[in-house]
Amino acid sequence: MSTFPAEQRICVTGGGGFLGRAVCSELRRRGATTLFIPRSTEFDLTQADAVARLFDRAQPDVVIHLAAEVGGIGANRTHPGRFFYANMAMGVHLIEEARIRSVDKFVQVGTVCAYPNHCPLPFREESLWEGFPEETNAPYGVAKRTLGVMLDAYRSEYGLNGIYLIPVNLYGPGDNFDPQSSHVIPALIRKFCDAVDQGLEVVECWGNGGASREFLYVDDAADAIVTATATYDDHEPLNLGTGSEITITDLATMIARLTKFHGRIAWDASQPDGQPRRRLDTSRAASRLGWRASTGLEDGLRRAVAYWQARSNVERVAVG
Q: Which residues are catalytic?
A: 140
Inter-residue contact 95 to 106 (CB < 8 Å): yes
- Residues 246, 86: Cα–Cα separation, whole Å: 31
Dihedral sign computed on CA atoms, order 191, 195, 198, 200: positive
- Residues 137, 197: Cα–Cα separation, whole Å: 32
